[in-house]
């Protein structure tokens, strides 16, 4: 796809996102995933009147990337310029594009990221938070913030953890950048079990 969506996610849509759990018992997982679906659909439906991004927070395998892709696919159908990047892949492309001899910057890679009307940055905080990583994250996010561009983020790191040994999103991106995200995005917490684990178990039963 022109939006750079990975092949694995090309078929993601709102129609095939099915919240886990049971609507009749109104359990917490079903409610959180249903609300996440509604928030994604609302952005796709009401943009550009609704001009705040989304920050999908939750564990692996609960459909955060699915919802992010479904959102930009709906927006693309409306003729809106969208781009998808796994943040780790973006960092690698930036590193690979740098020419130390000519001292050229990463502008060739970054220009589409800056210019996309809607950007998905998947797996925010997944890369080790070195000074370079944090500087690069700050540069990208601040540029889009200053240009009033809508960005959709997904991350496995929560704002608060029950285990003191687990890192928070602030630990991974820094206090200043986390503060910026509060202003840029609505936080959408997605709860649930890892559906990939369920798929793996089901496949195991067939052998």
State the CATH number of the domain containing residue 22: 3.40.50.300
How far apart are the C-alpha atoms of 88 and 142, rounded to whole Å?
18
**pLDDT surpasses 60 at 102:** no
How far apart are the C-alpha atoms of 8 and 18, rounded to whole Å?
17
- pLDDT band of residue 207 (cuts 50, 70, 90) is very low
68 or 128, higher pLDDT: 68
- pLDDT band of residue 143 (cuts 50, 70, 90) is very high
Give the number of domains in the chain. 1
Could you tell me the pTM of the whole model? 0.90
- Give a yes or no: residue 194 inside a domain: yes
- Give a yes or no: residue 3 inside a domain: no
Q: In 152-192, which residue ranges form alpha helices assigned H by DSSP?
A: 169-173, 175-184
DSSP string over 58-116: --TTSSHHHHHHHHHHHHHHTT--EEEEEHHHHHHHHHHH-BTTTTB-SHHHHHHHHH-
Lowest mean pLDDT among 40-49, 55-64, 136-145, 198-207: 198-207
**Range of the structural domain that residue 126 is part of:** 15-160+167-202
- Give a yes or no: residue 4 inside a domain: no
**pLDDT surpasses 80 at 160:** yes
How far apart are the C-alpha atoms of 62 and 34, rounded to whole Å?
11
Q: Backbone dihedral region of 181: left (phi > 0), alpha (psi from -120 to 50 degrees) or beta?
A: alpha
Q: What is the pLDDT of residues 35-83, one digit of tens each?
A: 999 999 999 999 999 999 999 999 999 999 999 999 999 999 999 999 9
Q: Which structure tokens are listed for 79? A: 């003729």
- Give a yes or no: residue 52 inside a domain: yes
């Amino acid at each position: 796809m022109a939006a750079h969506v990975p092949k694995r996610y090309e078929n993601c849509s709102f129609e095939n996102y099915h919240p886990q759990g049971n609507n009749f018992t109104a359990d917490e997982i079903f409610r959180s995933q249903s609300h996440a679906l509604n928030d994604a659909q609302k952005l796709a439906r009401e943009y550009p009147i609704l001009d705040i991004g989304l920050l999908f927070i939750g564990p692996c395998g609960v459909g955060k990337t699915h919802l992010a892709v479904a959102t930009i696919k709906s927006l693309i159908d409306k003729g809106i310029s969208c781009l998808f990047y796994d943040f780790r892949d973006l960092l690698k492309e930036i590193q690979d594009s740098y020419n130390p001899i000519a001292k050229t910057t990463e502008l060739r890679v970054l220009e589409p990221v800056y210019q996309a009307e809607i950007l998905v940055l998947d797996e925010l905080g997944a890369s080790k938070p070195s000074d370079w990583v944090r500087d690069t994250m700050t540069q990208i996010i601040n540029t889009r913030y200053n240009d009033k561009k809508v960005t959709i983020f997904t991350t496995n790191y929560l704002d608060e953890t029950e285990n003191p040994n687990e890192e928070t999103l602030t630990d991974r991106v820094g206090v200043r950048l986390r503060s910026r995200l509060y202003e840029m995005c609505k936080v959408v917490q997605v709860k649930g079990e890892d559906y990939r684990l369920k798929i793996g178990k089901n496949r195991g039963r067939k052998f």
